[in-house]
Amino acid sequence: TTEVFADVGSLRTDFAEFLAHFSSQQSHIYTGGSPVEFVRELHDRWFELHPKGKPAPVEDMPTDWNPGCVFISYAHEDRDSAVRLADELAKANLEVWIDRRLTAGDDYNARIRFHIKESAAFVAVLSQHTNNEAGPGRFFAKEWYEACEVDKGFCGQDRRFLFPVIVDGSSPGSLGAIKKGIFGNNVAFARGGGPTPDLIREIDVAQKAFRKGAPRA
């Protein structure tokens, strides 16, 4: 075990002498600044040794998340339709979260899973691109199956969590690998990302119910 003291008080001479005598191998005093500066330097040194594991810059990461957002999941090829759908829902005063990066889906990780679990509704943007789990829809499929697990908590309730939305000319019966999970859910159509008033209203009901604290099963 190694402990590092990064605090103005640790610079006291008597404290340094105490550590030198009683914990010279395990205890170290950081003289480069505050605890925040120590963590920043530790971060930089770590990624100098492990450059492949360096995360994306903060400005490239998804932002503006609040519990109860409407989570929009999509394949990269459907980005334009998904962004339009998100914008239209936002215009209807719904709080929406969508990964707007050009590499959407490439960072499927614990944060994405957390967002899904804490969302009021999961909108799955469906098309021919989400039809093949081994192709463009592979990241979408991961999010879809995660959302299906969350949906189990809504069993026996009138509230909806899953909102499958087809944005191209695909039929519900041609949704391939994920069509089994679609059964039992009303599929909506929003060609090119343009939602119908009914779809907007249903998602609005789901978000308001979440914000009122309606319990999941």
pLDDT per position as a tens digit, 109-146: 667 788 888 899 999 998 888 876 666 556 777 888 88
Q: What pTM was computed for the model? A: 0.64
Q: Which of 4-18, 96-110, 139-153 has the highest mean pLDDT?
A: 139-153
pLDDT in tens, 188-216: 889 999 999 999 999 999 999 888 875 55
Q: What is the pLDDT of residue 192?
A: 92
Q: What is the pLDDT of residue 200?
A: 95
- Six token digits for residue 134: 């081994």
Q: What is the pLDDT of residue 154?
A: 75
Identity at 30, one-letter amino acid code = Y
In angstroms, the CA 28 to CA 116 distance is 42
| Burial track 153-169 (b if 16+ CB lie within 10 A, e otherwise) | ebeeeebbbbbbbbbbe
Q: What is the pLDDT of residue 101?
A: 57
Q: What is the pLDDT of residue 25?
A: 78
In DSSP terms, 188 is beta-bridged to: 165
Does the pLDDT of residue 174 top 90, yes or no?
no
List helix spans (H) across the chain: 13-22, 35-49, 79-91, 110-117, 138-151, 179-182, 197-211
Identity at 88, one-letter amino acid code = E
CA 217 from chain centre, in angstroms, equals 23
pLDDT in tens, 140-159: 778 888 888 888 887 666 67
Q: Which of 5-19, 48-62, 92-106 has the highest mean pLDDT?
A: 5-19
In angstroms, the CA 28 to CA 5 distance is 6
In a 13 Å sphere around the CA of 74, the CA atoms on its Cβ side amount to 29
Q: Return the closest-CA partner of residue 110 out of 142, 137, 133, 74.
A: 142
Does the pLDDT of residue 6 top 90, yes or no?
no
Does the pLDDT of residue 162 top 70, yes or no?
yes
Asked if 164 contacts 124 with a C-beta cutoff of 8 angstroms, the reply is yes
